[in-house]
Structure 1
Protein backbone atom coordinates (compact mmCIF):
# COMPACT_ATOMS: atom_id res chain seq x y z
CA UNK A 1 0.00 0.00 0.00
CA UNK A 2 2.87 2.37 0.85
CA UNK A 3 4.73 1.55 -2.37
CA UNK A 4 1.62 2.08 -4.47
CA UNK A 5 1.08 5.51 -2.90
CA UNK A 6 4.75 6.50 -3.28
CA UNK A 7 4.78 5.55 -6.95
CA UNK A 8 1.52 7.41 -7.59
CA UNK A 9 2.69 10.59 -5.86
CA UNK A 10 6.15 10.42 -7.46
CA UNK A 11 4.80 10.35 -11.00
CA UNK A 12 2.44 13.27 -10.42
CA UNK A 13 5.31 15.77 -10.46
CA UNK A 14 7.02 14.17 -13.47
CA UNK A 15 7.08 16.22 -16.66
CA UNK A 16 7.29 14.65 -20.07
CA UNK A 17 5.72 11.92 -22.15
CA UNK A 18 7.84 8.99 -20.95
CA UNK A 19 9.26 7.83 -17.64
CA UNK A 20 12.89 8.69 -16.69
CA UNK A 21 14.07 5.14 -17.46
CA UNK A 22 13.62 5.82 -21.18
CA UNK A 23 15.97 8.83 -20.98
CA UNK A 24 18.63 6.70 -19.26
CA UNK A 25 18.38 4.03 -21.94
CA UNK A 26 18.52 6.69 -24.68
CA UNK A 27 21.70 8.11 -23.19
CA UNK A 28 23.37 4.67 -23.13
CA UNK A 29 22.13 3.70 -26.59
CA UNK A 30 23.24 6.97 -28.19
CA UNK A 31 26.83 6.28 -27.11
CA UNK A 32 26.74 2.80 -28.64
CA UNK A 33 25.13 4.07 -31.85
CA UNK A 34 28.15 6.25 -32.61
CA UNK A 35 29.99 3.05 -33.64
CA UNK A 36 27.29 1.98 -36.11
CA UNK A 37 27.62 2.30 -39.88
CA UNK A 38 24.18 2.67 -41.50
CA UNK A 39 23.43 1.51 -45.04
CA UNK A 40 19.99 2.22 -46.51
CA UNK A 41 17.87 -0.20 -48.48
CA UNK A 42 14.39 0.18 -49.86
CA UNK A 43 11.10 0.00 -47.96
CA UNK A 44 12.55 1.36 -44.71
CA UNK A 45 14.73 -1.68 -44.15
CA UNK A 46 18.28 -0.79 -43.17
CA UNK A 47 21.54 -2.63 -42.73
CA UNK A 48 23.61 -1.56 -39.74
CA UNK A 49 27.23 -2.60 -39.38
CA UNK A 50 28.35 -2.67 -35.75
CA UNK A 51 31.96 -3.85 -35.26
CA UNK A 52 31.80 -6.04 -38.40
CA UNK A 53 28.51 -7.64 -37.36
CA UNK A 54 25.52 -6.78 -39.52
CA UNK A 55 22.03 -6.19 -38.20
CA UNK A 56 18.81 -5.62 -40.15
CA UNK A 57 16.55 -2.83 -38.86
CA UNK A 58 12.96 -2.39 -40.02
CA UNK A 59 11.45 0.92 -38.86
CA UNK A 60 7.93 0.15 -40.11
CA UNK A 61 7.63 -3.06 -38.07
CA UNK A 62 9.88 -1.72 -35.28
CA UNK A 63 12.22 -4.70 -35.40
CA UNK A 64 15.95 -5.33 -35.31
CA UNK A 65 17.75 -8.62 -35.88
CA UNK A 66 19.39 -8.30 -32.44
CA UNK A 67 15.83 -8.59 -30.98
CA UNK A 68 16.52 -6.09 -28.19
CA UNK A 69 14.00 -3.59 -29.57
CA UNK A 70 11.23 -6.22 -29.57
CA UNK A 71 12.11 -7.40 -26.06
CA UNK A 72 12.21 -4.10 -24.19
CA UNK A 73 10.17 -1.81 -26.45
CA UNK A 74 12.89 0.86 -26.64
CA UNK A 75 15.01 1.21 -29.81
CA UNK A 76 18.38 -0.55 -29.63
CA UNK A 77 21.65 1.10 -30.70
CA UNK A 78 21.24 -0.14 -34.27
CA UNK A 79 17.73 1.25 -34.56
CA UNK A 80 18.86 4.47 -32.88
CA UNK A 81 21.53 4.96 -35.56
CA UNK A 82 18.92 4.52 -38.30
CA UNK A 83 16.42 6.85 -36.61
CA UNK A 84 19.04 9.59 -36.22
CA UNK A 85 20.22 9.06 -39.82
CA UNK A 86 16.63 9.61 -41.04
CA UNK A 87 16.31 12.67 -38.76
CA UNK A 88 13.32 11.28 -36.92
CA UNK A 89 12.43 11.55 -33.23
CA UNK A 90 13.44 8.43 -31.23
CA UNK A 91 10.55 9.04 -28.79
CA UNK A 92 8.11 8.14 -31.58
CA UNK A 93 9.54 4.60 -31.68
CA UNK A 94 9.23 3.82 -27.95
CA UNK A 95 6.48 1.44 -26.86
CA UNK A 96 3.46 3.03 -25.19
CA UNK A 97 4.03 0.98 -22.02
CA UNK A 98 6.73 3.44 -20.93
CA UNK A 99 4.37 6.43 -21.09
CA UNK A 100 3.27 8.42 -18.09
CA UNK A 101 -0.37 7.50 -18.75
CA UNK A 102 0.31 3.76 -18.59
CA UNK A 103 2.37 4.21 -15.42
CA UNK A 104 -0.51 6.07 -13.79
CA UNK A 105 -2.90 3.40 -15.00
CA UNK A 106 -0.80 0.71 -13.31
CA UNK A 107 -0.79 2.48 -9.95
CA UNK A 108 -4.29 4.00 -10.08
CA UNK A 109 -6.18 1.25 -8.20
CA UNK A 110 -6.13 2.10 -4.52
CA UNK A 111 -5.49 -0.57 -1.93
CA UNK A 112 -7.90 -0.40 0.97
CA UNK A 113 -6.39 -0.53 4.46
CA UNK A 114 -7.27 -3.39 6.82
CA UNK A 115 -7.51 -3.30 10.60
CA UNK A 116 -4.90 -4.94 12.82
CA UNK A 117 -5.22 -8.51 14.12
CA UNK A 118 -6.39 -7.33 17.55
CA UNK A 119 -9.42 -5.73 15.92
CA UNK A 120 -10.41 -8.81 13.93
CA UNK A 121 -13.75 -10.39 14.71
CA UNK A 122 -13.42 -13.49 16.92
CA UNK A 123 -15.51 -16.52 15.85
CA UNK A 124 -15.99 -19.21 18.46
CA UNK A 125 -18.34 -21.41 16.42
CA UNK A 126 -15.51 -22.51 14.09
CA UNK A 127 -13.30 -25.54 14.81
CA UNK A 128 -9.72 -24.95 15.87
CA UNK A 129 -7.21 -26.00 13.21
CA UNK A 130 -5.29 -29.20 13.91
CA UNK A 131 -1.88 -30.25 12.66
CA UNK A 132 -1.79 -32.64 9.71
CA UNK A 133 -1.72 -36.38 10.35
CA UNK A 134 1.82 -37.78 10.40
CA UNK A 135 2.20 -40.27 7.59
CA UNK A 136 4.85 -42.95 7.55
CA UNK A 137 6.74 -42.47 4.32
CA UNK A 138 7.28 -45.49 2.05
CA UNK A 139 10.67 -47.14 1.85
CA UNK A 140 13.04 -48.90 4.18
CA UNK A 141 13.40 -47.37 7.62
CA UNK A 142 16.72 -45.84 8.55
CA UNK A 143 18.83 -47.87 10.99
CA UNK A 144 20.83 -44.87 12.09
CA UNK A 145 19.86 -43.72 15.53
CA UNK A 146 20.35 -40.25 16.86
CA UNK A 147 23.16 -39.82 19.34
CA UNK A 148 21.74 -38.78 22.64
CA UNK A 149 23.28 -36.04 24.64
CA UNK A 150 24.51 -36.44 28.22
CA UNK A 151 21.69 -36.38 30.71
CA UNK A 152 19.08 -37.34 28.13
CA UNK A 153 16.98 -40.41 28.92
CA UNK A 154 16.74 -43.32 26.58
Structure 2
Protein backbone atom coordinates (compact mmCIF):
# COMPACT_ATOMS: atom_id res chain seq x y z
CA UNK A 1 0.00 0.00 0.00
CA UNK A 2 2.86 2.36 0.80
CA UNK A 3 4.21 1.97 -2.74
CA UNK A 4 0.83 2.91 -4.21
CA UNK A 5 0.56 5.96 -1.95
CA UNK A 6 4.08 7.10 -2.85
CA UNK A 7 3.42 6.58 -6.56
CA UNK A 8 0.20 8.59 -6.41
CA UNK A 9 1.82 11.35 -4.38
CA UNK A 10 4.75 11.83 -6.77
CA UNK A 11 2.61 11.45 -9.92
CA UNK A 12 0.20 14.15 -8.76
CA UNK A 13 3.07 16.47 -7.83
CA UNK A 14 4.79 15.89 -11.19
CA UNK A 15 1.62 16.61 -13.14
CA UNK A 16 0.97 19.77 -11.12
CA UNK A 17 4.45 21.06 -11.94
CA UNK A 18 4.12 20.11 -15.63
CA UNK A 19 0.76 21.83 -16.06
CA UNK A 20 2.04 25.05 -14.51
CA UNK A 21 4.68 25.24 -17.27
CA UNK A 22 2.12 25.01 -20.09
CA UNK A 23 2.22 28.20 -22.13
CA UNK A 24 -0.65 27.49 -24.55
CA UNK A 25 -4.34 27.88 -23.92
CA UNK A 26 -4.57 24.07 -23.81
CA UNK A 27 -2.15 21.31 -22.90
CA UNK A 28 0.46 19.95 -25.33
CA UNK A 29 -1.51 16.78 -26.18
CA UNK A 30 -4.63 18.79 -27.06
CA UNK A 31 -2.51 21.29 -29.04
CA UNK A 32 -1.15 18.45 -31.20
CA UNK A 33 -4.67 17.16 -31.87
CA UNK A 34 -5.88 20.64 -32.84
CA UNK A 35 -2.87 21.11 -35.11
CA UNK A 36 -3.50 17.76 -36.82
CA UNK A 37 -7.17 18.62 -37.36
CA UNK A 38 -6.23 22.07 -38.66
CA UNK A 39 -4.12 20.53 -41.42
CA UNK A 40 -7.24 18.86 -42.84
CA UNK A 41 -9.33 22.03 -43.15
CA UNK A 42 -8.08 22.72 -46.69
CA UNK A 43 -10.54 20.01 -47.83
CA UNK A 44 -13.54 22.07 -46.62
CA UNK A 45 -15.24 25.38 -47.30
CA UNK A 46 -17.16 27.24 -44.60
CA UNK A 47 -20.24 29.23 -45.66
CA UNK A 48 -21.48 31.72 -43.07
CA UNK A 49 -25.17 31.63 -42.29
CA UNK A 50 -25.18 33.79 -39.17
CA UNK A 51 -22.69 35.30 -36.75
CA UNK A 52 -21.81 31.89 -35.29
CA UNK A 53 -23.65 29.55 -37.68
CA UNK A 54 -21.92 27.93 -40.66
CA UNK A 55 -22.53 25.28 -43.27
CA UNK A 56 -19.28 23.47 -43.95
CA UNK A 57 -18.99 21.43 -47.14
CA UNK A 58 -16.27 19.27 -48.61
CA UNK A 59 -14.18 16.33 -47.65
CA UNK A 60 -13.76 13.06 -49.47
CA UNK A 61 -17.50 12.55 -49.97
CA UNK A 62 -18.62 16.17 -50.26
CA UNK A 63 -20.62 16.02 -47.03
CA UNK A 64 -22.28 19.09 -45.55
CA UNK A 65 -22.38 19.81 -41.85
CA UNK A 66 -23.92 22.55 -39.74
CA UNK A 67 -21.55 24.15 -37.24
CA UNK A 68 -22.74 26.42 -34.44
CA UNK A 69 -19.71 28.09 -32.87
CA UNK A 70 -21.82 29.70 -30.16
CA UNK A 71 -23.26 26.40 -28.95
CA UNK A 72 -20.06 24.39 -29.69
CA UNK A 73 -21.89 21.89 -31.89
CA UNK A 74 -21.44 20.21 -35.25
CA UNK A 75 -23.77 17.75 -36.94
CA UNK A 76 -20.93 15.20 -37.20
CA UNK A 77 -21.05 15.08 -33.35
CA UNK A 78 -17.27 14.75 -32.97
CA UNK A 79 -16.98 18.15 -31.28
CA UNK A 80 -19.66 17.31 -28.73
CA UNK A 81 -18.11 13.89 -28.02
CA UNK A 82 -14.47 14.93 -27.65
CA UNK A 83 -14.69 18.54 -26.49
CA UNK A 84 -12.20 19.45 -29.23
CA UNK A 85 -13.45 21.26 -32.37
CA UNK A 86 -13.80 18.81 -35.25
CA UNK A 87 -12.44 19.54 -38.73
CA UNK A 88 -15.75 21.19 -39.76
CA UNK A 89 -15.79 23.44 -36.70
CA UNK A 90 -12.10 24.24 -37.14
CA UNK A 91 -12.78 25.28 -40.74
CA UNK A 92 -15.53 27.64 -39.52
CA UNK A 93 -13.27 28.94 -36.72
CA UNK A 94 -10.54 29.70 -39.25
CA UNK A 95 -13.13 31.47 -41.43
CA UNK A 96 -13.74 33.84 -38.49
CA UNK A 97 -9.95 34.29 -38.04
CA UNK A 98 -10.11 32.82 -34.54
CA UNK A 99 -8.02 30.22 -32.72
CA UNK A 100 -9.48 26.68 -32.33
CA UNK A 101 -8.06 26.35 -28.81
CA UNK A 102 -10.52 29.07 -27.73
CA UNK A 103 -13.35 26.62 -28.47
CA UNK A 104 -12.28 23.53 -26.50
CA UNK A 105 -14.46 22.43 -23.59
CA UNK A 106 -13.53 23.76 -20.17
CA UNK A 107 -12.50 20.35 -18.87
CA UNK A 108 -9.55 20.38 -21.31
CA UNK A 109 -8.13 23.68 -20.07
CA UNK A 110 -4.94 23.77 -17.99
CA UNK A 111 -6.81 25.36 -15.09
CA UNK A 112 -9.12 22.34 -14.88
CA UNK A 113 -6.19 19.95 -15.23
CA UNK A 114 -4.46 21.76 -12.38
CA UNK A 115 -7.61 21.56 -10.23
CA UNK A 116 -7.68 17.78 -10.69
CA UNK A 117 -4.10 17.37 -9.50
CA UNK A 118 -4.21 20.13 -6.88
CA UNK A 119 -5.00 18.08 -3.78
CA UNK A 120 -1.86 17.01 -1.94
CA UNK A 121 -1.23 13.52 -0.71
CA UNK A 122 0.67 14.25 2.46
CA UNK A 123 3.92 12.51 3.35
CA UNK A 124 3.88 10.20 6.34
CA UNK A 125 6.42 10.27 9.16
CA UNK A 126 7.46 6.84 10.38
CA UNK A 127 8.85 6.40 13.88
CA UNK A 128 11.65 3.87 14.26
CA UNK A 129 10.85 3.37 17.95
1:72: which partner in 2? Answer: 82
Q: Distance in 1 between matches of 2:98 and 2:65?
A: 20
Give the number of equivalent residue pairs: 117
Q: Deviations over 1:53-80 (max 9, x none)?
A: 1111111111001111111111110001
- SS of 1:8's equivalent in the other structure is helix
**TM-score normalised by the chain length of structure 1:** 0.67
Q: Equivalents in 2 of 1:2, 1:81: separation in Å? A: 41
Residues 1-150 of structure 1 mapped to structure 2, 5 A cutoff: 1-42=9-50, 44-49=52-57, 50-51=59-60, 52-113=62-123
Cα shift at 1:114: 5.1
CA drift at 1:43:
5.2
Which one has the largest radius of gyration?
Answer: 1
Q: Which runs of 5+ in 1 are unaligned?
A: 120-154
| Structure 2 residues not aligned, in runs of 5+ | 1-8
In the superposition, the TM-score normalised over structure 2's length comes to 0.79
* Residue 16 of structure 1: how far off its partner (Å): 2.9
Deviation at 1:18, TM superposition (A): 1.7
Decide whether the 8 Å contact of 2:52 with 2:69 is kept in 1: yes
Relative to total residues, which structure has the larger helix share, 1 or 2? 2
CA distance in structure 1 between the aligned counterparts of 2:101 and 2:13, rounded to whole angstroms: 28
- Secondary structure of the equivalent of 2:32? helix
